[in-house]
Amino acid sequence: MSTQPKVGVIFKSYEPLASIQKYAAQTEESGYNGGFWIAEAYHWFRKYGHEARGCFTTLAAAAMATKKIPIGLGITSPYMRHPTIQASESNAIDELSGGRFIMGIGAGKVGTEYLDLDMKKYTPVKTHHESAEMIRGIASGEAFKYEGELYACDMPAVDRKSRGLRTDIPVYIGATGPFMQKLGGREFDGLLLPGLTSPGFTSYARQNCWEGAEKVGRELPSDFPVGGVILAACNKDGAKAKDATRSYTGTYVINKLRNIKNDIILSSSGLPDETWNPFRKAIEEGTEDNVTHLVSDEIQRRFTVISGTPDECLEITQELVDAGLNLPLLEVVGASEADNLETIRLFGEAVLPKLKPGL
């Protein structure tokens, strides 16, 4: 059964809040039914000259600049805040947005590597399972007592429904590896894939997700949300757009090699392993912040980085949709606020209306 894709726009929370509001308003005006999303930027991003802002405050700014489209968090790490605090923040954004919020949690390696955590105890699957249970239980408004292996809480009841508040806020999981993807199929309301998601990686992740669901007797609907963070720049000057995404592609490659260590992300692009040797060398030599020149147009195309002219962006996006990515989230990157607004506007005008249903 074919599924009509929903396309959204996503920014990291290191963008100025005034700019975030402009981007969110343009996303709504341009007809993105996949909504406006924020990925939490941790203090690590100061390394690149960015100021990290809390994701919930940033989402609040976006919610106040929009009226209809979904407002999503894709993602924050459950390791950074206790699940009761995550739930309180989630409930607040959902109230502020009038019930438009989608909660997204994922490990967030660049944030958690600075925490003194026993990762053998706080395994990703266990941590995300318990966090989601608590976020949902607290949102229900019913009396909720939870005793997990990692977390516990005892929440009295409150009548959220009579106050016009939702009791079933959707929770998506950001998942890179097979165990987390299978957990998404078993327990979550949507799956979010990482930067450098390609058609090959989309197919791999969907298979894991559906296997996880099947194992517990859960039947996922054909339109079960499978989203992915895709670098994007759309401009009538295709070369300018490709150059805009090049440095960010390099940063993602370095992150995958150094932190994620998931060979499937890189190998599913179809590029040979030796492609990454110059990047590995840069890590060894401490020059990993200067790899833009290593990112060829072919690397970007194989990773379906959505950059180029509107026609090129349409072709690339359709490939992802055909592979089953029914919620592409455009991580818009440009040299200026004006460039970012132009990408959102032009993509909405020239690409969105032409997208066809996929898996």
At 359 the pLDDT is 81
Give the tens place of pLDDT for each residue, 230-253: 999 999 999 999 999 999 999 999
Range of the domain at 48: 1-174
What pTM did the predictor assign? 0.96
Neighbours of 194 (CB within 10 A): 22
- 338 lies in some domain: no
User: Among 173, 204, 199, which residue's Cα sits nearest to residue 186?
Assistant: 173
Give the tens place of pLDDT for each residue, 323-359: 999 999 999 999 999 999 999 999 999 999 999 999 8
- Cis-peptide, bond into residue 75, ω within 30° of zero: yes
Give me the chain's average pLDDT, please: 95
Domain count, the chain: 1
- 280 lies in some domain: no
20 pLDDT above the threshold of 70 = yes
111 pLDDT above the threshold of 70 = no
Asked if 198 and 298 count as a contact pair (C-beta separation under 8 A), the reply is no
pLDDT bracket for residue 46 (50, 70, 90) = confident
At 43 the pLDDT is 81
- 222 lies in some domain: no
- 327 lies in some domain: no
- 345 lies in some domain: no
CATH number for the domain including 125? 3.20.20.30
Considering just the CA atoms, what is the radius of gyration of the chain in Å? Answer: 19
pLDDT bracket for residue 118 (50, 70, 90) = confident
